[in-house]
Amino acid sequence: MKFIHILLFYFTSICFLSSLEGQKKSLYSSIFEIDGLINVNINTNLGHLVRKSSKEEYQQAEITIYDESSSELIALPGRIRARGNMRKKQCRYPPIKIDFKKSDLDSLGYKKKIDKLKMVFPCRGGNGNQEKLYKEYLLYDIYKIIDPKGLNAKLSNVTFIEEDGKSTQFTGMFVEEEKAYKQRTDAKIIETGNLRAPSLERDLYLKMSFFQFMIANTDYSVANRHNLEMVKHPDNRRVVAIPYDFDYSGFVGQHYAVPHESLPIEDVNERYFFVKDLTIAEFNKMVAYFLSIEDQVNNTIESASYMDDKNRKMSTHYLKSFFDMLRKPKVLRRQIIE
């Protein structure tokens, strides 16, 4: 009888602790709920991070995050490492993953299971590279027009501070990590198994494919899960492909971006359409849909006050060529179907 009481106490405690954990916010959700631009200070050896980026080795760092009113959100020790395939080879400032101790997050009232943050920085110093980072952030914003359940991204001012007091500043962005996305949308992340385009939710797959065509991006693959998060939402029995990492798009215009050698194009600004089984009815539906959101896309670009006026105009002009193609559907249909 005593043993049964102990078991009941144990399971009751587990359920209570699980309930408390479920009520907590993740650090991600706290960051993304902030309306304004946040500030992130990272005390670490930036030179070591740059030199050893290819090895993706963790190094110690002190991370302080401030909200839009400069109030401290967290100040914790953690680890950071470089990530990203091509960027860590081509960029001075590689994307990073920040890893906190679960116990530290728990002590501050955050969900301890979501203990990592993903950040992307301008490839190099200078205004041109900063504007390219802004363009990539803008694409996450535009894709949310197409699929409100797309990945979140958030701009943040970043300051790397080294032991000698030297600092490096630019604006980077947080990109939603898998566990954070799962918590926000209650989605299941599909990490294993063979996936092909016919198995995906068709309408969103076509919209995603036309979006990639719009921005002149060919750096993604369903079969390899390359730059696509495969998820299954509670209200949809089919898998949805959500795009991320748009640095190889012609729209962003990174210096290192080139088409894959297997593709029949020579420049990333050449649009190439991947869907081979597109029907005329589907084509007509997608043309009508994207023309219907043209004003929303242009308004999103126009409201991107973080970009300079020149790059906003260039961005609108770049996508105008796509919308102009849609206004000549017979010509476009021959190009991508016939």
Q: Each residue of 105-154: pLDDT tens digit? A: 999 999 989 999 999 999 999 999 999 999 999 999 999 999 999 999 99
Identify whether the C-beta of residue 128 lies closer than 8 Å to the C-beta of residue 170: no
Provide, rounded to the nearest whole percent, the portion of the chain with pLDDT above 90.
83
C-alpha angle with apex 10: 4 to 16, nearest 5 degrees? 135
Per-chain mean pLDDT for the chain: 92
Q: Which pLDDT band holds residue 16 (cuts at 50, 70, 90)?
A: very low
Q: Quick one: average pLDDT of 45-62?
A: 93
Identify whether the C-beta of residue 156 lies closer than 8 Å to the C-beta of residue 162: no
Long-range CB pairs of 81-84 (<8 Å, 24+ gap) are: 81/49, 81/56, 81/57, 82/49, 82/52, 82/53, 82/54, 82/55, 82/56, 83/56, 83/118, 84/120, 84/245
Among 222, 219, 329, smallest CA distance to 275 is for 222
Each residue's pLDDT tens digit, 181-236: 999 999 999 988 788 999 999 999 999 999 999 999 999 999 999 999 999 999 98
**pLDDT at res. 76:** 96
Q: Which pLDDT band holds residue 17 (cuts at 50, 70, 90)?
A: very low
Residue 310: φ, ψ to 5°? -60, -45
**pLDDT at res. 118:** 96
Each residue's pLDDT tens digit, 294-306: 999 999 999 999 9
Each residue's pLDDT tens digit, 269-296: 999 999 989 999 999 999 999 999 999 9
